[in-house]
Structure 1
Amino acid sequence: MKTAIGAAKNTSWALAFADFKEITKVRLAVSVVFSSLAGYLLGADQVNLVSLVLLAFGGYCMVGASNVYNQIIEKDLDALMNRTRNRPIPAGRMSVNRALFIAVLLTLLGVITLYVLNPKTAMFGAISIFLYTSIYTPLKTKTPLSVFVGAFPGAIPFMLGWVAATNDFGIEPGTLFMIQFFWQFPHFWALGWMLDEDYKKGGFKMLPTGKKDGGTALQIIMYTIWMMVISVIPVFGITGRLHLSIPAAILIFLMGLVMLLFAFKLYEKRDNASARRLMLASVSYITLMQVVYVIDKFI
């Protein structure tokens, strides 16, 4: 009997943990934390392990809180879409009150943890939650401009790490912000292209023209080019302490060209398979670009 009870408790905890990971969107949150840590390493004169841990924990809490608030607000719409109907709230595995408790707790933990690093980091973290929850989320069913608004909180993590390391906001974190800002358009429009039919079930307007057409594909190409240009600007020595060597800049530019090739393929074929390849290329680009920046600093 005790064994059966223990096994049931273990199963219950495992399911609860699985729901926690899903409602905080663990993979997205981890990728955001990675961006923050990369920004920290770029800004830090000396790497402090405690600061890295605080940034990782606080960053996860802030991203997780944003995702939970988002799923509370969109619970009825999530129930209409194939990709989201099995989320904890629409599936009935988690109540709204429990989700709200998790969101508030994560918000408090995140703000307090980031404040320990410095007040500016906590401020930018709080701004990201406000923009994502209070402006981006409601706009998703009203206008494709929601992607533009959502790009602001989405671009904060890379620069947040620099601010956490330096307690300063200037040209360097501003450049990191702009890189991730422009990257988000081809990334999310490729995702929106793939999931357009499902998004429409929930009433979401994610593509800039509202259609999977040449206009959307052309805008993806344009924003990809802007992303490539801004990603290599530090090589010209005009971004303060944020530097990039010529070999690193060439490597990053070539990675951008690969992503641009996929964007042109989408313009040519205009199918979901091309959009998926572009989306995967964009994920690889943002990760590898940040790795190159960090390695370039330390070698």
Structure 2
Amino acid sequence: MNKAAAVELVEGFSLEMTGKDVPGLREAAPVIPQGTKVNVTFLGNEDLEMRVAAAQAVRELGFVPVPHISARRLASQDQLEEFLGRLQQVGASTHVFAVGGDPAEPEGPYPDALTLIQSGLLQKYGVAEVSIAGYPEGHPDIAADVLWRHLDEKALALAQQGLGTTILTQFAFDTDPVMTWIDQVRARGIDAPIRIGTPGPAGIKRLIGFARRFGVGANAMIVKKYGFSLTNLMGTAGPDRFVSDLSELLARDPAHGPVGLHFYTFGGLLATSEWARDYLAAQA
């Protein structure tokens, strides 16, 4: 294994949490490197106060909050501006993740992340960098050509507004579609940093459930390649093999540009942070 490439991929990882995960973040804080980006989700069962409090806790613990803004969950421009304004008040508006969101029908004037970006409101509240979504294995409800067109349009709109861009992907089990997708992104002239989503250590049943929900491949061959078996659903799995294989493939061609990791923690902030610490220590 190429240990230097593995370290380069894992160092500077980012994490994901929900508004309910603040106690878990406090518990994990001593293990998480200061300055780590921590994304805060925008779920339908959480309210403004919970989201803002979580983003504020991230900052106060010495990390960089990246609050999600779910376009389709916003009922009005006023609701968007209230959220951005509250984030700015607690020093948590510099980095955001603009995403379409789950509702089948938009609850207000923003049907997708592109509309959110084109509103021109982000800079007004101090946003300097916007993460946008990438889908190496596609999206169960959106055609591939639409995903690519929106990625192009979002990257262009952010560049025209002078905003930094990071592409953050849905989690993956298989390095092959990830590498193909990275090549396609770069071939389109998009040179923004990419963070490949991967699950932190979690129960196998839970991983497969999330994979099916998001349309990510979870067939027998792919999960075997990731490092667990469908015949042992009671066990847990970590991303060791996926991360090692991905770093090896990235090291073969520097044209892939800046690529890092984003961990979906499923509430396991401490377990994920300990995994990253121990993985990096093993490469020393």
**Fold-level similarity (TM above 0.5):** no
Higher RCO (CA-CA < 8 Å; seq separation 6+): 2
Q: When the two structures are superposed, what TM-score results if normalisation uses the length of structure 1?
A: 0.29
Q: When the two structures are superposed, what TM-score results if normalisation uses the length of structure 2?
A: 0.30
